[in-house]
């Protein structure tokens, strides 16, 4: 099973009001030390996997996320690249994505990323309507997006994804249509459509909960309208040849994001940097044998070992920990077999392709999967899922209510 790498660059020129990540505006003076510590973290993590005798497969996807990775200087990009090149095995074909914000593309930095192998860009457009982008904290219009696309394409990068957010302040039916139209006109092979997350972690979300007018929360469309925007996006993008393959993701066939698919298919990834998350999965020869024995008798085996950890979301804490040569996470969690099965469901069902219950049965044992049957029946009655043979999939309504579906499939 190949490996994915995630590099977190939590720096932005300005903080968007909808953003609920740890990223933010920090002095560029901190960038070099951050990159140095990130390199140290890579070595530290690999020392741990070696100690645990976890074999790492060759890398076939790299994702620079943020924040805005393109704020880094070419030298810092190359420094990270060197570290990666030095320690990992590489597949021949690697999907190498860099997140970028409209109007932040710097040719020298793009050169550096391209030297490393960048072949895909995810552009955080969010909206093609200037009145809307203004209230997210950045103001740009369709012209800026068009010039960014042209720049990328002139450099041979045509595997581009555009993000949209449904639920921004001042969005209405007409403006949403023009954003969708913007995606169509951009002619990109991939798009992501998110819905504004209403939680305390973003300034706009917090204002929606606590009240206030600073970020224009009082101009945020109602839930019914956001649902309508989402449904409209699914239909519209399909007509443009961008087929929905996950709750928030749409692509031309063959242009799905390999890296994001790892999260939903429980394929291993290592994340480095602030708030980066990692998951490793190991099937050792011993537990594979054991598993074969138990499988025959139908008992629950839990053959694979799965680890997860997540780095601190506090930059000061991240820096202090690594300076002391301590891990930037607060502990490595071993995922129990039941939890692994649950993950397979609540992650796998996010994909339109769904999950194969027969495969889960083979992987986790028929006994472990058996309690699902009744719940699946209820969910089918409620028209939230379909079961075709052993293939379980969400319906379009099931996607909108997916947390309800997933909650009912939790076994523990």
Partner 1 sequence: MDTQYIRNFSIVAHIDHGKSTLADRLLERTGALTAREMQAQVLDAMDLERERGITIKAHAVRLNYEARNGQTYQLNLIDTPGHVDFSYEVSRSLAACEGALLVVDAAQGVEAQTVANAYLAVNQGLTVVPVINKVDLPSAEVDRVREQIEHVIGLDASDAVLASAKTGLGTDEVLEAVVHRIPPPSGDPAAPLQALLFDSWFDPYRGVIILVKVVQGRLSRGQRIRLMANGQRYQVEMLGVRTPKTVEVETLSAGEAGLMICNIKRVADAQIGDTITDDERPADEPLPGFQEIKPMVFAGLYPVETDRHGELRDALEKLRLNDASFFFEPESSAALGFGFRCGFLGLLHMEIVQERLEREFNLDLIVTAPGVRYRVVLHNGDLVEIDNPAKLPSPGEITKVEEPVITATIISNEESLGGILKLCDEKRGVQKGFEFLGPGRVMLTYELPLNEIVLDFYDRLKSASRGYASLDYHLSGYWDSALVKLDILVNNEPVDALSLIVHRDKAYERGRALAAKMKELIPRQMFEVPIQAAIGGKVIARETVKSIGKNVLAKCYGGDITRKRKLLEKQKEGKKRMKRVGKVEIPQEAFLAVLKVNE
Nearer to partner 1, 31 or 346 (CB): 346
Shortest Å distance, C-beta 389 to partner 1 = 25
DSSP character for 55? P
Nearer to partner 1, 215 or 272 (CB): 272
Nearer to partner 1, 155 or 308 (CB): 308
Angstrom distances, CA of residue 271 to CA of 11, 41, 86, 140, 310: 16, 10, 16, 31, 8
Angle ∠(145,146,150) on CA atoms, nearest 5: 115
Contact 39, 102 (CB under 8 A): no
Size of the chain, expressed as the number of residues it contains:
412
Residues of this chain that interact with partner 1 (CB under 8 A) are 6, 8, 20-21, 65, 163, 192-195, 197, 223-224, 226-227, 230, 247-248, 262-263, 269, 271, 275-279, 308, 310, 333, 339, 342-343, 346-347, 382, 384, 399-404, 406-407, 410
Shortest Å distance, C-beta 293 to partner 1 = 30
Structure tokens at 323: 């300076």
Nearer to partner 1, 295 or 312 (CB): 312
Nearer to partner 1, 71 or 165 (CB): 165
Shortest Å distance, C-beta 154 to partner 1 = 27
Shortest Å distance, C-beta 277 to partner 1 = 4
Nearer to partner 1, 41 or 163 (CB): 163
d(Cα 168, Cα 133) in Å, to the nearest integer? 9
d(Cα 29, Cα 283) in Å, to the nearest integer? 43
d(Cα 100, Cα 393) in Å, to the nearest integer? 33
Shortest Å distance, C-beta 355 to partner 1 = 15
β-bridge mates for residue 244, sequence order: 250
Shortest Å distance, C-beta 296 to partner 1 = 31
Shortest Å distance, C-beta 107 to partner 1 = 26
Radius of gyration (C-alpha) of the chain in whole angstroms: 22
Angstrom distances, CA of residue 92 to CA of 2, 18, 58, 182: 12, 37, 9, 34
Name the residue among 221, 249, 217 with its Cα closest to residue 233: 249
Q: CA neighbours within 13 Å on the CB side: how many for 401? A: 13
Nearer to partner 1, 197 or 356 (CB): 197
Shortest Å distance, C-beta 310 to partner 1 = 6
Nearer to partner 1, 82 or 199 (CB): 199
DSSP codes of every residue in 240-281: TT-EEEETTEEE-TT-S-HHHHHHHHT--EEEESTT-EEEEE
d(Cα 76, Cα 112) in Å, to the nearest integer? 9
Contact 3, 270 (CB under 8 A): yes
Nearer to partner 1, 274 or 295 (CB): 274
Nearer to partner 1, 48 or 194 (CB): 194
Shortest Å distance, C-beta 387 to partner 1 = 18
Q: For strand 59-66 and strand 3-9, is the pairing parallel, antiparallel, or unpaired? A: parallel
Shortest Å distance, C-beta 280 to partner 1 = 12
């Amino acid at each position: 099973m190949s490996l994915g790498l995630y590099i977190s660059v939590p720096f932005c020129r300005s903080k968007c009001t909808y953003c609920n990540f740890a990223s933010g505006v920090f002095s560029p003076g901190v960038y070099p030390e951050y990159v140095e510590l990130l390199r140290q973290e890579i070595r530290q993590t690999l020392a741990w996997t070696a100690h645990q005798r976890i074999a790492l497969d060759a890398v076939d996807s790299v994702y620079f996320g943020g924040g805005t990775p393109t704020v880094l200087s070419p030298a810092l990009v190359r420094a990270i690249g060197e570290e990666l090149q030095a320690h990992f095995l590489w597949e021949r074909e690697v999907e190498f994505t860099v997140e970028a914000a409209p109007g932040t593309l710097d040719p020298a930095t793009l050169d550096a990323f391209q030297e490393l192998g960048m072949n895909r860009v995810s552009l955080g457009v969010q909206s093609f309507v200037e009145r809307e982008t203004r209230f997210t904290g950045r103001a740009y219009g369709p012209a800026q997006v068009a010039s960014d696309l042209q720049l990328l394409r002139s450099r041979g990068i045509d595997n581009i994804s555009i993000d949209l957010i449904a639920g921004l302040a001042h969005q209405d039916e007409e403006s949403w249509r023009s954003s969708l139209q913007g995606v169509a006109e951009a002619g990109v092979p991939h798009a992501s459509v998110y819905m504004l997350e209403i939680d305390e972690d973003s300034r706009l979300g917090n204002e929606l909960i606590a009240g206030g007018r600073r970020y224009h929360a009082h101009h945020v469309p109602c839930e019914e309208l956001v649902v309508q925007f989402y449904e409209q996006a699914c239909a519209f993008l399909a007509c443009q040849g961008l087929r929905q393959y996950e709750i928030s993701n749409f692509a031309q066939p063959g242009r799905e994001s390999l890296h994001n698919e790892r999260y939903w298919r429980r394929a291993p990834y290592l994340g480095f940097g602030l708030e980066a998350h990692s998951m490793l999965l190991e099937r050792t020869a011993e537990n594979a044998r054991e598993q074969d024995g138990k499988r025959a008798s139908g008992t629950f085996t839990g053959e694979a070992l799965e680890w997860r950890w997540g780095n601190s979301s506090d930059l000061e804490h991240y820096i202090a920990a690594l300076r002391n040569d301590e891990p930037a996470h607060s502990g490595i969690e071993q995922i129990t077999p039941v939890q692994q099965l649950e993950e397979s469901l609540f992650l796998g069902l996010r994909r339109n392709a769904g999950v194969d219950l027969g495969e889960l049965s083979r992987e986790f044992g028929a006994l472990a999967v058996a309690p699902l049957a009744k719940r699946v029946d209820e969910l089918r009655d409620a028209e939230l899922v379909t079961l075709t043979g052993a293939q379980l999939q969400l319906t379009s309504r099931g996607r909108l209510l997916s947390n309800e579906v997933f909650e009912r499939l939790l076994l523990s």
